[in-house]
Structures are given as structure tokens and as C-alpha cells.
Amino acid sequence: MAKYLVSGTSIIKVDNSTGPLVLLGTAIDSVSDVGKEVDALDVTSFADTAERMIAGIEKSREVTLEGPYEDSGSAAPDNHYSTLVGTIQTVQFNPAGTVAGRRLITGEFLCLRYEVIMAGKQPVRWRAVHKLDGTLNTTGTN
């Protein structure tokens, strides 16, 4: 059973063209998996009796943020993301809130796309896709 509910205390901030991190708050209701991943590199030689592996470099993973469409206020995704596509920004994840000692995950991400999702008889939604640039810091705390 999960100890922390996503809807309870999770916080996600994305900086903008002027630099400060912006809390997107209730504008986000879905985040794809966030974490590190490496390839296994085969270093097996003729002298080995079994395959041997070492860790490769960290992969650049994609992270998708999504939520209900909003265009009023400076922290509204439509206003915030309108200038971010094609730029690199800091994305900060606080999976269990901002209480001192809780996990803080940060990285620099290239914003690949921002889109407005409109489907018949469904609420309008937005989606932003980011690709990690460099390494993801998963060892930080608040």
C-alpha cells in the first residue's frame, strides 16, 4: 500500500523564461514516471564463463505533465508553456511535499512539446513533454 497519496502533498514546479520556479499546483493531475535508467553494457571476454555487464551512462528519459486546461493567471499552463517549447528549464518534483527532509528530485529538461487536448464531450486538457538534459538529481531533500 502506498504511504503517500499523489493528490495529497506532491508538488511540481517548472521555471519559466525569466528564471523563477513556478508552482503549477492543481493544473497538474498526471505525471509520467520520474527516475534514472542506464543501459547494461556487455564486457564479456573469452576468459569469462558467463556474461559480464557494467552500467552505461544515464539515459535521457521523457517526463510528461498533464492536467485540466487553464489559461488565466501567470501560473496557468497555457500562459506558462506558450514560450517554453524548444527551451531548457529546471523541473522540480517533491513527491511527498516540501516538509524538511522529504525527497526532492530535480533536473534540467528540454520542453519538446506543449499541446491542448480537445475530445468530444470531454473536458479540455493540456500536456507538456520534457526530455532530460544531463543527469537527474534523485538524492536531494527539502
- pLDDT for position 79: 85
CA distance to 5, 25, 46, 69, 76, per residue, from 16 (Å): 27, 15, 53, 18, 12
Residue 94 is part of a domain; what is its CATH number? Answer: 2.30.110
Q: Is residue 123 part of a domain?
A: yes
- Read off the pLDDT of each residue in 18-42 and give the average, rounded to a whole number: 87
Q: Is residue 1 part of a domain?
A: no
CA–CA separation, 102 and 20 (whole Å): 21
- pLDDT for position 112: 96
Domain count of the fold of the chain: 1
Mean pLDDT of the chain: 87
CA–CA separation, 55 and 120 (whole Å): 46
Banded pLDDT at 5 (limits 50, 70, 90):
very low
Q: Is residue 42 part of a domain?
A: yes
Q: Is residue 13 part of a domain?
A: yes
Residue 50 lies in domain: 6-141
- Read off the pLDDT of each residue in 72-93 and give the average, rounded to a whole number: 87
Pick from 15, 35, 10: which is nearest to 25 by CA? 10
